[in-house]
């Protein structure tokens, strides 16, 4: 199996390290500076058991040199997906599966869904429909990652906890799914790499379970500067997060999503990660753009389509957006 991973961040680096240890032909596609650094230094991975491994993955900054792949993983922030299109195109053959590893509601979410989604792009995550037009949703295998991994210095990653990934065809869900053999191949590959992969007939339900925690505690982490464990265990921030999650649950259920986990069970799951800085807090502290559109803006847009009132989500989005803008202005 030929596999390309676009993006050499925390998740992309973890996949390059672990999938590269299987029999698959795995190549990490990175920006020129990042590719040069990885060639020079390799990748250092600190495991959840604090074991240190140094890996020398196959890496390139020229996707044209690779030719068509069986699977391409897009391991970039949701707002950076548009910038991957030119890199992605040379990697596509007739049967290539595309697996976006993004937080929040993905651009392909309305694919093959009934009203009020009905194959209409979401302006919050795909403002002019460029992704919808450029990346055929029928190629997409949806993915949800529950691993906690963070950058720990140049070319160094720390895998904090969890091994779980969930995969499913993007055309599945409440509209009725279809069999996609690429899903089985990807699940098998991740199992060979030592992860804990699962296949689902309804990837949207899995997306909401992951997003449920992210949409509450990622923004709250930016507002407070606190770790995930602290936010989940402090009575005040726990209740604020719970209120946000209940609003999001109402939106998802209006769209046909069935939750098999309670709000409090999901909070307990997040608390179990411990003193881990959310990816949004890491981005804020590093001066990077926040994934507000994918994690909060998209849910608010879905709420508007579904006719659900979400005042708490709107208020938190406004506060985090202002804080992020003030930081950018101060840096300028």
For the record, the structure tokens of 236 come out as 């005040």
Sheet (strand 156-161) strand order: 52-55, 43-46, 156-161, 148-151
For the record, the structure tokens of 18 come out as 């672990």
CA 280/CA 73 separation, integer angstroms: 21
Which residue, 143, 149, 166, 157, is CA-closest to 72? Answer: 143
For the record, the structure tokens of 307 come out as 């006719």
In the block, which residue shows the tokens 């590269």? 20
CB 277 within 8 A of CB 148: no
CA 128/CA 122 separation, integer angstroms: 9
If phi > 0 it is left, if psi is from -120 to 50 it is alpha, else beta; for residue 177 that is beta
Peptide bond into 314 cis (omega under 30): no
CB 252 within 8 A of CB 313: no
- Our CA angle for 312, 316, 319, nearest 5°, is 145
Which are the catalytic amino acids? Answer: 210
Rg over alpha carbons for the chain, rounded to the nearest Å, is 19
Other C-beta atoms lying within 10 Å of the C-beta of residue 223: 16
């Amino acid at each position: 199996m030929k596999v390309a991973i676009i993006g050499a961040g925390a998740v992309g680096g973890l996949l390059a390290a672990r999938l590269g240890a299987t029999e698959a032909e795995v190549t990490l596609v990175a920006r020129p500076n990042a590719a040069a650094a990885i060639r020079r230094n390799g990748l250092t991975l600190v495991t959840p058991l604090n074991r240190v491994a140094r890996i020398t993955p196959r890496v390139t900054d020229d996707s044209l040199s690779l030719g068509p792949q069986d699977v391409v993983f897009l391991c970039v922030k949701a707002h950076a997906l548009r910038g991957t299109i030119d890199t992605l195109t040379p990697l596509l053959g007739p049967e290539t599966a595309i697996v976006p590893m993004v937080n929040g509601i993905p651009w392909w979410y309305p694919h093959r869904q009934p009203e009020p989604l009905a194959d209409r792009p979401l302006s919050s995550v795909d403002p002019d429909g460029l992704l919808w037009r450029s990346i055929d949703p029928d190629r997409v295998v949806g993915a949800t990652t529950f691993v906690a991994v963070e950058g720990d210095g140049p070319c160094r990653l720390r895998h904090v906890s969890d091994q779980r990934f969930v995969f499913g065809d993007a055309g599945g869900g409440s509209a009725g799914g279809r069999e996609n053999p690429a899903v089985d191949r990807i699940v098998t590959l991740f199992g060979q790499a030592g992860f804990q992969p699962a296949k689902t007939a309804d990837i949207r339900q899995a997306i909401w379970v992951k997003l449920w925690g992210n949409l509450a505690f990622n923004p709250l982490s930016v507002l407070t500067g606190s770790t995930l464990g602290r936010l989940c265990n402090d009575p005040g921030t726990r209740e604020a997060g719970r209120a946000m999650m209940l609003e999001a649950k109402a939106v998802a259920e209006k769209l046909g999503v069935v939750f098999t986990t309670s709000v409090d069970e999901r909070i307990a799951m997040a608390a179990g990660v411990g003193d881990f800085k959310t990816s949004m807090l890491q981005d804020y502290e590093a001066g990077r753009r926040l994934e507000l559109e994918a994690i909060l803006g998209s849910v608010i847009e879905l709420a508007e389509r579904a006719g659900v009132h979400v005042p708490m989500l709107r208020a938190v989005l406004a506060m985090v957006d202002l804080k992020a803008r003030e930081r950018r202005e101060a840096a300028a």
